[in-house]
Structure 1
Amino acid sequence: MTIAARMDRLPVTRRHRVATVAIGLGLFFDLYEIFLAGVLGSVLEKHFHLGKSELALLLASAFLGMFVGAVAFGRIADRLGRRRAFLLSLGTYSLFSLLAAFSTGPVMLVVMRFLAGLGIGAEPPVSDTYLGDLLPPKHRGRYTAWAYTLAFLGVPAAGFLGRWLVPEAPLGFDGWRWMFVLGALGSLIVFALRTRLPESPRWLAAVGREREAEEIVARFERDAGELPEPVENPVVPAESGRLRELFVPPYRRRTAMMAVFHVLQTMGYYGFGTLAPIVLVAKGFPVVQSLLFTALTYLGYPIGSAVSLPLVERVERKFLVLGSAVLMAVFGIAFGLASASWLIVACGFLYTTASNLFSNAFHIYQAEIFPTALRGTATSGTYALSRLASGVLPFVLLPLLNSAGAGVLFTVVAAAMVLVVVDVGLFGPRTTGRVLEAVNSRVGATTDQEAR
């Protein structure tokens, strides 16, 4: 009886729930930090007297660090373990985010943001990989969505904290600096919580550490009590863990599909999240009022994530990605063209709600379509392209906003989301409710192509 088959027959236990909460809390501070740049962009522009190119560099710096971090830590997750990778990533983020609070000028802030980005970039794909390894197939989508629902509370938290702290200077320390401090200290608490999480038994078995995998699975089984007989998973060809395996069938098509997907989706997802406050200022709203509007639209992130909970196991995840991408295109254009404050907030809220239905679906999906020995590398490597694209976006979208206006900006974003629909619709396999070994067997891949 294989380790994978024993993990797949488990019900959801207390250990699964603890892991889900610990991952969700880490992602909370990850997303808080990602959206911090957008929340504080206009504030830091005034504080440091930044020009447009300097502001773009500040917005891009963390994303460029995220690109490097996602690639590096994804490989660590496959070589040294999922647990070690997410502890390293969270520790890196905490340290440099704290140092960012004490920045004496824009250069130091850009450098600290880049270095914090090394840890931030690894957090979502490594977490996706870990939960994908750990959770039973019938519950994998729902519990991963729960982790992200908890995580996305960090986005409106950043928005409302910005609205409250930016005009203030508690203890004589600028409000924007306190926002970095709070994020760093919170993530240190999560680091301590995560040290108690087990390593992925699937990963341990894949690298030949059967005894450790057996001990961890036995603890899960003792928690579960009486168990059904396992259904053996399809035999998957032996995995060497070499990168070249991602570029041969059946994974070559999936690698290319996810690479294109991540370059495009970041325009819709992070393009809105980081630029919305700046777009509102460009529409003529004062900075403090734009922060309030941004915080209200950011409420859609956790709500959209909560909306995904009853859907991710009932609707094929591939189709959830497609439908939510279309909604993002529609609401994005409406947000760009809106001028009345109530309509701006309504369209922004609907956009962020749709975008987190989209986000939850693809985070679950991307960790299901690659083999265990390469899951961290493939998930993080393709996801890293979204971070690189996010680093480039301010240099493309800010000039477009300044020259052509918000309507044209969000029309371009909508076009990118339409291309996402084409990419995943043509080349993405189906995964919902299937064991990972079935999704990643050569027979399973052939069946997917026939079903498509």
Structure 2
Amino acid sequence: MDNLPVGPMHRRVVIAVGLGLFFEVYEIFLSSTISTALKTQYGLGGTTLQLLMASSFVGMFFGAAIFGRMADRIGRRRAFLVNLVWFSVWSLVGALAPNPAILVAARFMAGVGIGAEYPVADSYLSDVLPKAHRGRLAAWAYTCSFLAVPALGFASLGLTGRSVFGVEGWRLLLVIGAAGALLVMQMRRALPESPRWLARVGRLEEAQAALRRFEGADIHEVADIGVRPVSAPAKPTNPFARLSQRPYRGRLAMLAVFHLFQPFGYYGFGTLAGLVLVSRGYDVTSSLLFTALSFLGYPIGSALSIPLLKLFERKYLVVASVAAMALCGIVFAVVSYPALIVLFGFLTTAASNVFSNFYHVYQAEIFPSDVRATAVGWTYSVSRLSSAVLPFVLIPVLDMYGATVMFGVVLVALTLVIAVVLPLGPKTTGRSLDEINPV
């Protein structure tokens, strides 16, 4: 798999995974839109508003941890299909919710399904993409996903505060997410299972068949480029024992701390930008317009990461992008001219997605394939729990002390991210998965 040339199947994987991630990102940033709409239209506030913003992230915490392990047990492809169906059903329930309590519960359950999307996607992409192109192709999938942010921003601008055939706009946004997830599920049914995973569980004939689909040639031609047989383990891997070995226990701890604090920068801006602007006196229409324009930085920043992933060491790229995100976020908090608000909002979101692409590629590379989805799911779930806590930490700070102090809290959190990655993160760029994970 490491040495295969990039072929049609690799491109199909990138598109299908990218579109699935599109709806993960859509779901995450929908929290801000729904919360802003319900606060301004219906006066929803206090604990109810915080619970609404936190509910899907709490669900994602459980989904990332449970489905990540499930993907190592039942396979990446099957986990992909299960989580999309789950998400779609509960998004429809949320769209029909008659009161805030049902909406909070439905958002939690939808989060369980969509929370698995990134851990499974990161693991699958790391499994099947050739080492020389792994970062670049994975970044294309992530770039596809982040088109969801400006798409949602402008859809929210058009639908929030309005009704279509008597249906409130925020409900239609939930329906769009549910329908799109079902379409992606149909695309993913045609993808092959990860050959690495199949070989690890002893299904060697299926692994060879899947490998042929990626290579697009006769299996003997595959053998000529250095594919070596993999012996299946005698029994299923015990993830606790495997991840307690060196160097994985250190990497696991590093990523857990990383994911505890990185959401303060990434989601702290993305989910609270509208409320920040409302708190500074802008009406909801102006706030949604400013954030929609700022959100154009998400796909553009993601695209900018593609050449960088091939040129520079990923560990250092993660650190540099965190610093850029912190700096731009602080400036966004203090400028007052509309043009500067949009500019630094754009730069913050661009830096955020350069950062996001770097760490999603990076975190899947630093664990072996038999526990890759488990490790990524466990550590990534910490970010979802942290994101769920964010409204209870940042909204009170915003209300009591203003945007500048709130972004000061974000700055401290991002400094801690740099403090763990710089000394503890291994180097991965240009190395095969076996070199990175020798044990």
Question: How far is 1:220 from its partner?
Answer: 2.5
For the residue of structure 1 that corresponds to 2:307, the secondary structure is coil
CA 1:231–1:214 in 2, change beyond 3 Å: closer, same or farther?
Answer: closer
Q: Would you say 1:439 and 2:439 are equivalent positions?
A: no
Partner residue in 1 for 2:44: 50
- In terms of mean alpha carbon deviation, does 89-98 or 382-391 score higher? 89-98
Q: Percent identity?
A: 53
What is the aligned counterpart of 1:159 among 143, 150, 153?
153
Q: Would you say 1:351 and 2:348 are equivalent positions?
A: yes
What is the aligned counterpart of 1:399 among 396, 402, 420?
396
Partner residue in 2 for 1:174: 168
Question: How far is 1:345 from its partner?
Answer: 1.0
Question: How far is 1:240 from its partner?
Answer: 2.5
For the residue of structure 1 that corresponds to 2:312, the secondary structure is coil
Question: How far is 1:176 from its partner?
Answer: 0.9
Whether contact under 8 Å (1:145, 1:309) holds in the other structure is yes
2:335 and 2:229 mapped to 1: Cα distance? 52
Partner residue in 2 for 1:449: none
Question: How far is 1:320 from its partner?
Answer: 0.8
Partner residue in 2 for 1:24: 18
Whether contact under 8 Å (2:16, 2:184) holds in the other structure is yes
Whether contact under 8 Å (1:31, 1:155) holds in the other structure is yes
Partner residue in 2 for 1:230: 225
CA 1:235–1:185 in 2, change beyond 3 Å: closer, same or farther?
Answer: closer
Question: How far is 1:440 from its partner?
Answer: 0.2
Partner residue in 2 for 1:282: 279
1:257-296 matches, within 5 Å, as 257-296=254-293
Partner residue in 2 for 1:209: 203
2:188 and 2:15 mapped to 1: Cα distance? 10
1:69 and 1:441 mapped to 2: Cα distance? 29
Question: How far is 1:208 from its partner?
Answer: 1.1
1:130 and 1:241 mapped to 2: Cα distance? 20
Aligned letter for 1:388?
Answer: L
Whether contact under 8 Å (1:243, 1:374) holds in the other structure is no
Whether contact under 8 Å (2:328, 2:344) holds in the other structure is yes
Q: Would you say 1:306 and 2:300 are equivalent positions?
A: no
1:208 and 1:47 mapped to 2: Cα distance? 57
Whether contact under 8 Å (1:13, 1:223) holds in the other structure is no
Deviations 1:395-425 (A, max 9, x none): 0110010111100111110121111111100
Partner residue in 2 for 1:243: 240
CA 1:273–1:425 in 2, change beyond 3 Å: closer, same or farther?
Answer: same
Whether contact under 8 Å (1:265, 1:420) holds in the other structure is yes
What is the aligned counterpart of 1:389 among 386, 399, 422?
386
Deviations 1:5-30 (A, max 9, x none): xx112101101100110000011111
Partner residue in 1 for 2:99: 105
Q: Would you say 1:11 and 2:5 are equivalent positions?
A: yes
Whether contact under 8 Å (1:318, 1:425) holds in the other structure is yes
What is the aligned counterpart of 2:361 among 356, 360, 364?
364
Aligned letter for 2:314?
Answer: R
**Unmatched tracts of structure 1, length 5 or more:** 1-6, 443-452
1:366 and 1:187 mapped to 2: Cα distance? 25
Question: How far is 1:119 from its partner?
Answer: 1.1
Aligned letter for 1:220?
Answer: F
Deviations 1:56-77 (A, max 9, x none): 1100000000000001100110
Q: Would you say 1:408 and 2:405 are equivalent positions?
A: yes
Question: How far is 1:50 from its partner?
Answer: 1.8
When normalised by structure 2's length, the TM-score is 0.96
Question: How far is 1:223 from its partner?
Answer: 4.4
For the residue of structure 2 that corresponds to 1:270, the secondary structure is helix
What is the aligned counterpart of 1:199 among 190, 193, 202?
193
Whether contact under 8 Å (1:401, 1:409) holds in the other structure is yes
Aligned letter for 2:225?
Answer: P
Question: How far is 1:211 from its partner?
Answer: 1.3
- In terms of mean alpha carbon deviation, does 244-253 or 120-129 score higher? 244-253
- In terms of mean alpha carbon deviation, does 225-234 or 257-266 score higher? 225-234
Partner residue in 2 for 1:450: none
Partner residue in 2 for 1:447: none
Output the aligned Cα RMSD. Answer: 1.8
For the residue of structure 1 that corresponds to 2:271, the secondary structure is helix
CA 1:15–1:232 in 2, change beyond 3 Å: closer, same or farther?
Answer: closer
1:13-162 matches, within 5 Å, as 13-162=7-156
**Unmatched tracts of structure 2, length 5 or more:** none
Deviations 1:135-171 (A, max 9, x none): 0000110010000111000011111000001132111
For the residue of structure 2 that corresponds to 1:208, the secondary structure is coil
1:188 and 1:13 mapped to 2: Cα distance? 26
Question: How far is 1:246 from its partner?
Answer: 1.1
1:169 and 1:219 mapped to 2: Cα distance? 47
Deviations 1:184-234 (A, max 9, x none): 111111111111111100001111111110111123233499668434789
2:152 and 2:245 mapped to 1: Cα distance? 42
Whether contact under 8 Å (1:258, 1:382) holds in the other structure is yes
For the residue of structure 2 that corresponds to 1:8, the secondary structure is coil
Question: How far is 1:242 from its partner?
Answer: 2.6
Deviations 1:61-106 (A, max 9, x none): 0000000000110011000000111111111111111111111110
CA 1:182–1:232 in 2, change beyond 3 Å: closer, same or farther?
Answer: closer
